[in-house]
Amino acid sequence: MLRLVRHRLRLPRHRGTTAHVCSAYPFQAEAGLGARGVYLGTNVLTGGGGFAYDPFEAYGAGVVTNPNILLAGEPGMGKSAAAKCFIYRSVGVFGRWAAIADPKGEYLPLADALGLTVIKLHPGGTARLNPLDRGPGEGAGVSEEAARRQAAMLTALLGSVLRRDLGPVEDAALGWAVTHLGRQQRDVVTLDDVARLLASPTAEMAERARATPAELARSVEAVTYALGKLLERSLRGMFDGPTTVRLNPTGPGIVLDLSAVHHDPEALTLVMIATTAWLQTVLSAPTGPKRLQVLDEAWSLLGSERTTRYLQACWKLCRSYGVANVAIVHRLSDLRSQADDGTATAKVAMGLLADTQTRVLFRQAPDQVADARQLLGLTATEGRLLWKLSKGRSLWKVAGRTAVVQHVVARGDEQVICDTDSRMVA
């Protein structure tokens, strides 16, 4: 009779530091990003350890090479709540200065809680912003670099109105007009000044165009009429003169309430371009705290190559200005600027993504996973996780590091500022 004998494999117990163990069990002993930053929730990859992040701290530590942030996720998955908690804690604890472009009027409770200045923009209103304002650090006149930025903004703005790229003469005439107005040492240059100059070009501008002033005026008539939409028609009173808003230099920041034009996608795109241009002048102050620029509904600036290029130009100024840009979108396909792969627009969007090393991804629909893997370089495991994330949980990709964070909303003020369902559940 045979008798079976079971032999058990016995191995000596091994002990190691977390630095060594995390290489063998990366999803059980993830090192995390450290504690220097705003507390946001728990990292499930570290066994429930706290997760903190601040773009400026990460930049200073060499974790990222730019402080810009992208948040993407389906509605109702906690994307807005995470953004508001991040802003609330960054301003309240770290003393950051926040500028928020708010297309839906969602950030007004946050403004009340932090004491942010609220500027409500609407056609025919009393608040007016001049997108051609000079920055607080600039002297009289307009520098060559400032003139270039203003011309780029006008090109994106008017190209959106015309729904086409500007012709060579139109593009050149805009640049000549901005340069001429800057040479006049004016304290304030407005869109109305540009429109008047294009309607009656100077002899110097006509000579450079190899035409008479009347011929040059006729060749740029379409641009002049496009400016009329901002000055006289659907957006009148918002950007057609000197800025009427006075900011508190010692305050915590501003919220630009754009909800009056949220229902009109075309108008929203124009307002977002002009608003972003004005914010750039505010954010270019040479002194003061680190700043956050938050662009909700950023898809409105990703619909064409010209607007995407303009947004990318703004993104590249982040280190010079000490600004962390935060773009909030619903779908990762928004980053393709509604363009086919391989087109110039898609390549510009990819360049914008390269300038955004911190990506916070809430749940995406299954048909978005392929885009996410291709655009963000996600692994197969991360791609499968993306459409299974529960409410309030997100996948963080910070340069080459990964975290899965369960965001925490504190009781009290944070519950109030994060509540976007009151109309649905009241």
The Cβ of residue 196 has, within 10 Å, a number of other Cβ atoms equal to 14
User: What pLDDT, on the 0 to 100 scale, is given for residue 149?
Assistant: 84
Q: Was domain 23-127+253-421 assigned CATH 3.40.50.300? A: yes
User: What pLDDT, on the 0 to 100 scale, is given for residue 11?
Assistant: 66
Residue range 359-416, pLDDT digits in tens? 999 998 888 888 788 888 888 888 889 889 999 999 999 988 889 999 999 888 888 8
Residues 357 and 68: beta-carbon distance below 8 Å: yes
Boundaries of every domain in the chain: 23-127+253-421, 144-231
Here the tokens at position 165 are 């790229």
Q: What is the pTM of this model?
A: 0.83
**Whole-number Å distance between alpha carbons of 219 and 421:** 51
**Whole-number Å distance between alpha carbons of 103 and 96:** 22
Residue range 162-199, pLDDT digits in tens? 888 899 999 999 999 988 888 876 678 889 999 999 99
User: What pLDDT, on the 0 to 100 scale, is given for residue 26?
Assistant: 54
Alpha-carbon distance values, 237 to 101, 103, 126, 129 (Å): 18, 18, 7, 9
Mean pLDDT for the stretch of residues 230-245: 84
Residues 107 and 255: beta-carbon distance below 8 Å: yes
**Whole-number Å distance between alpha carbons of 71 and 396:** 9
User: What pLDDT, on the 0 to 100 scale, is given for residue 52?
Assistant: 93
User: What pLDDT, on the 0 to 100 scale, is given for residue 424?
Assistant: 45
* pLDDT score of 24 more than 90: no
Pairwise pLDDT comparison (5 vs 362), residue with the higher score: 362
* pLDDT score of 140 more than 60: no
The Cβ of residue 49 has, within 10 Å, a number of other Cβ atoms equal to 15
Mean pLDDT for the stretch of residues 322-343: 73
Residue range 269-320, pLDDT digits in tens? 888 888 888 888 888 777 778 899 999 988 878 777 777 778 888 888 888 8
User: What pLDDT, on the 0 to 100 scale, is given for residue 311?
Assistant: 82
Angle at 116 between CA 112 and CA 117, to 5 degrees: 110
**Whole-number Å distance between alpha carbons of 55 and 172:** 38
Angle at 336 between CA 313 and CA 354, to 5 degrees: 50
Counting beta carbons within 10 angstroms of the beta carbon of residue 33, is it exposed (0 to 12), middle (13 to 18) or buried (19 or more)?
buried
Mean pLDDT for the stretch of residues 194-213: 92
**Whole-number Å distance between alpha carbons of 264 and 260:** 9
The full 3-state SS of the chain, as one line of letters, equals CCCCCCCCCCCCCCCCCHHHHHHHCCCCCCCCCCCCCEEEEEEHHHCCEEEEECHHHHHHCCCCCCCCEEEECCCCCCHHHHHHHHHHHHHHHHCCEEEEEECCCCCHHHHHHHCCEEEECCCCCCCCCCCCCCCCCCCCCCCHHHHHHHHHHHHHHHHHHHCCCCCHHHHHHHHHHHHHHHHCCCCCCCHHHHHHHHHCCCHHHHHHCCCCHHHHHHHCHHHHHHHHHHHCCCCCCCCCCCCCCCCCCCCCEEEEECHHHCCCHHHHHHHHHHHHHHHHHHHCCCCCCCEEEEECCHHHHCCCHHHHHHHHHHHCCHHHHCEEEEEEECCHHHHHCCCCCCCHHHHHHHHHHHCCCEEEECCCCHHHHHHHHHHHCCCHHHHHHHCCCCCCEEEEEECCEEEEEEECCCCCHHHHHHCCCHHHHC
Mean pLDDT for the stretch of residues 104-110: 92
Q: What is the mean pLDDT of the chain?
A: 83
Residues 54 and 90: beta-carbon distance below 8 Å: yes
**Whole-number Å distance between alpha carbons of 53 and 328:** 17
The pLDDT > 90 percentage for the chain reads 34
Residues 43 and 18: beta-carbon distance below 8 Å: no
